[in-house]
Structure 1
Amino acid sequence: MRRPILLMAVLLAGCATSPKGLERPEYASVFTVDQGYQLTLKRIVAATEECRPVQLLPVGQLINDVQNYNDLKEARIVQGASGVGTQIYKVIALKEVEGVTTVTLYTKARAGETLASLKKWAAGSTECK
């Protein structure tokens, strides 16, 4: 009985209750791509949908909120789970300036692995691993 509770506590430790809770410099990883933000957004969203892991808990729903601000040339993807409260575990912000898009990943867990995937997906790969 203790193991499932411990596992849940470890998983929730890498989360925040709102996107703003993650959008802090200490949780940020950044890279740029030489293309518009809309193409970058499209590629990341498509790969995220294709590569999404199976839901671990039968309680609640996965959050995959895509906010696209065309007039500002920026977008934001918020990923998390809701059910027993709201837990946000990843925020991906995209901002285009003069045809170059800056992608900022905010997360507390597995940042290096996630950043590597985002770079591949932004470049057009559909590989999940």
Structure 2
Amino acid sequence: MNRKWVITSVVLISIVLIAIFIYFNQMRYPALPADVESTPKEAVQKLNESDQPLVQISKDDEATWYIMKNSEDVNKQIQDLISSKGWIFKEIDGNSLFFEKDDDTLIVSTEMWTKKYRLVKVPAHF
């Protein structure tokens, strides 16, 4: 009887330790979109170490991805970033912000990643 109790205790403690390890190593954040090069933990760490409201987490030939903290002025922060490159803000429709420059349209999309963080996808021609 005593041996069964010891084995059961060891198994339960092992499960708890494994769960704690997984929680603190990337599993507490959902997956990022497939074309983002950073891990979820790296993305959050980059943002937390930066003094900028939006931090680039990936860039390829099609788009640049940014991460930002969720706040009431997320759209304003995105507008400031895009407008700094000469784009003129036109409207918001759902999770997309529309900009124009020289007869070209830029559609910046956002998605709620977690309760605290939002992802922003900016097309490469930005």
TM-score when normalising by structure 2? 0.32
Q: Relative CO higher for 1 or 2, CA cutoff 8 Å, sep ≥ 6?
A: 1
Structure whose CA Rg is larger: 2
TM-score w.r.t. the length of structure 1 is 0.31
